[in-house]
Structure 1
Amino acid sequence: MTAIIAGRYLVSSGGFAWLSARRHPHIHVGRGEQIRREIAWSLASAVVYGLPAGIVAWGWQAQGWTLIYDDLHAYPSWYGPVSVLAFLIAHDAWFYWTHRWMHRPTPFRIAHAVHHASRPPTAWAAMSFHPIEALTGAVVIPALVFMIPIHWGALLVVLGIMTLMGVTNHMGWEMFPRRLIDGPIGRWLITASHHQQHHRQYRCNYGLYFRFWDRLCRTDHGLGRFDHDRHAGAGTLSSLGDGHAER
């Protein structure tokens, strides 16, 4: 499982890092040391993620412990999308509160500072965590398969969305059109424009998939626009708060 997770990371982060360099040729200039550090921490995180994932895979196949099922007719057809949404909502809630806790002085200094050492982050930073922080992220999906029934195919969809969001939210530019992220859907979904604001201001925009908890807890500091400087070779973000900021 560690090898699978590491391979998934290298393919997904590597692919979007390549796309980033194609789209913004100067985005990685002068950041080789940072990228090497991001890859090293991410591969270490793959080991942490691999252990609970391996236990779940064994428990499902050999012991039947989990609520993962393979019969498409075991539940109504509408349940598949609902189970995916339930996993995402639960994961998002867990991520918001553990992420916010990680910004308290002690856990930040011990663990979360590793992730924020990437200034600004690249696509390689998707899993760049201290092992303590990696552990808080590694247990949530394995725990949910013991609580919420889900088809293995739907579980793959959840893992795919988790990977996509983790990588694209850190790659330093916005791949979605502004009309989407500035529209009704974008007001509730997190994209790179929203998460980059977190890496600039630290004490805001803690969510993973949805902006619900940030809005409810008044930690949503809005969206921004990337302005890629050809000479500096880095993406900067001009704040365009959407009226929900708590300054």
Structure 2
Amino acid sequence: MTGTLFLSLVLTSAVMTAIVAVRYLAISGGFAWLSRKVRPGIYDGLSPQIRRELRWSLLSAAIYGIPAGFALWGWKEHGWTRVYTGWDAMPLWYLPVSLFIYLFVHDTWFYWTHRWMHRPRPFRVMHAVHHASRPPTAWAAMSFHPFEALTGAFVVPLLVFLVPIHVSMLTAVLTIMTVMGVTNHMGWEMFPKWLVHSRVGAWLITASHHQHHHEAYSCNYGLYFRFWDRLCGTDRGLSPNAG
């Protein structure tokens, strides 16, 4: 019985690792192609760096796949998680609320662990791998040292055991996480200036904001929102090089 459970967990984790890896290759590859079309020459001379980003990212996919596989196994086999499929299981107004809760909690965790990783020792040990991408490319979103990948791999899998969420909203969380991670590292701003410089845009992180983090290092630590950066005085605005 124990062997069967172990095999089931291993298989589920392997499936999730494959899904994370394919999702990364498809989305990063798509935006890398778009970057070359919109900004010809933007990644010229960066082939060795991109190969490095691919290797680190596929290793990160395996690390992300293990807790994701456990969460999927717990949901499918035992109903342990708070993920639900029926539209009448919770009020409809809770759908966007749950989406925001997941994004805000993830953003909070990311901000503080990211800021911690910019302390000298954690930076040398783990975060320097990510910042070795100079400039970052669309392939760099998951280019992490394994220790750094571990800091982020458990957030969403843990939340599904604690906070109710419809499977459609969970899909939205994972999509937003992947797309924003990739687009924030492309090296150019794909969103229109009217949005980036609007009142709404002033609270959202896009390539113009995150590019400045990769240039200055000691600012702009957030993932989705500029809330913690603004509250803690680490928001340094937008990079002129990602316009």
CA RMSD of aligned residues (A): 0.9
Matched, 1:111 2:121: no
CA distance in 2, matches of 1:47, 1:85: 27
After TM superposition, give the deviation of residue 130 of structure 1 in Å. 0.3
Unaligned segments of structure 1, at least 5 residues: 227-236, 239-247
Matched, 1:3 2:18: yes
Matched, 1:222 2:237: yes
1:107-135, CA deviations, whole angstroms, 9 ceiling, x for partnerless residues? 10000000000011000001000000001
For residue 92 of structure 2, the aligned residue among 55, 72, 77 is: 77
Matched, 1:59 2:77: no
After TM superposition, give the deviation of residue 179 of structure 1 in Å. 1.3
1:125-183, CA deviations, whole angstroms, 9 ceiling, x for partnerless residues? 01000000001110000111111100111100000000010000000100011111111
CA distance in 2, matches of 1:134, 1:224: 26
Aligned partner of 1:20 in structure 2 is: 35
Q: TM-score, normalised by structure 2?
A: 0.92
For residue 101 of structure 1, the aligned residue among 112, 116, 132 is: 116
After TM superposition, give the deviation of residue 224 of structure 1 in Å. 2.3
Equivalent residue letter for 2:39: H
Would you identify which runs of 4 or more consecutive aligned residues in structure 1 move more than 2 Å? none
Aligned partner of 2:209 in structure 1 is: 194
Matched, 1:89 2:98: no
After TM superposition, give the deviation of residue 225 of structure 1 in Å. 2.5
Report how many aligned residue pairs link the two structures: 228
For residue 166 of structure 2, the aligned residue among 142, 151, 165 is: 151
CA distance in 2, matches of 1:171, 1:163: 13
Matched, 1:184 2:199: yes
After TM superposition, give the deviation of residue 24 of structure 1 in Å. 0.7
Matched, 1:161 2:176: yes
After TM superposition, list the pairs within 5 Å mapping 1:120-139 onto structure 2: 120-139=135-154
CA distance in 2, matches of 1:89, 1:47: 25
Which deviates more, 217-226 or 125-134? Answer: 217-226
Equivalent residue letter for 1:122: T
CA distance in 1, matches of 2:71, 2:147: 20
Q: Which has the higher helix share?
A: 2
